Amino acid sequence: DCPELGEFYRLELDTLHEDPVRLLGVYLDCFLAFNGHVDNVAKKTEVGINMMRALAGSGWGMRGKLLKIVFTGLIESVLFYGLEVWGHAALRKRNLTKFRRVFAQGARAICRGSRSANFQGLMARAGVIPPEFRIRQLLVNRYLSNKWFQTKLDREKKYGEFSGPHIKAASDAIN
């Protein structure tokens, strides 16, 4: 008494609609908006940011170069894990706002900046690439290192139709 294939897929979509499913550390929802995933990773980075603040100290502590290495290894690696899957959603305004907040907190810890400093100034002084550019950079690097993806992208560019939003996002990032 197996359910028909269409019935099985409906069951799965209903389950996805209720709660996001965590698969290999990435939260999938039925709309593939990845808002829950971005919320989750932004919350995870709070501990790392607090550790950076403690390491920086006010009159003592790590230098900015070392804190930048900690930021790259501890914060960026958590934020951008699985970017190949959800990269198309990373560039949405809502998600970029979350990333910018995390990056600003990290840059403040690196250069011991104040809360009133503007975002671009913090990024420049800390030597951190802003999230919208870093996301594009990572997408391009990961997609262009894959020969299969290069041929697929060239073929789809030629016809002007993209088979998925992640391929469109990669194409936009390259151009």
Residue 136: closest CA among 89, 97, 87: 87
**Phi, psi (deg, nearest 5) at residue 28:** -105, 130
Looking at residue 43, what is its pLDDT?
A: 93
For the stretch 144-149, contacts whose Cβ atoms lie closer than 8 Å and that sit 24 or more positions apart, written own/partner, are 144/174
Please give the Cα distance from 175 to 159 (Å, whole number).
16
The owner of tokens 């979350």 is 98
pTM here is: 0.72
Within 10 A of 165 (CB to CB), how many other CB atoms are there?
Answer: 13
135: CB partners within 8 A, 6+ apart? 80, 83, 87, 90, 91, 99, 173
pLDDT digits (tens, 9 = 90+) for 43-87: 999 999 999 888 887 677 778 889 999 999 999 999 999 888 888
| pLDDT band with cut points at 50, 70 and 90 for residue 161 | confident
107: exposed, middle or buried (C-beta count within 10 Å: 0-12, 13-18, 19+)? buried
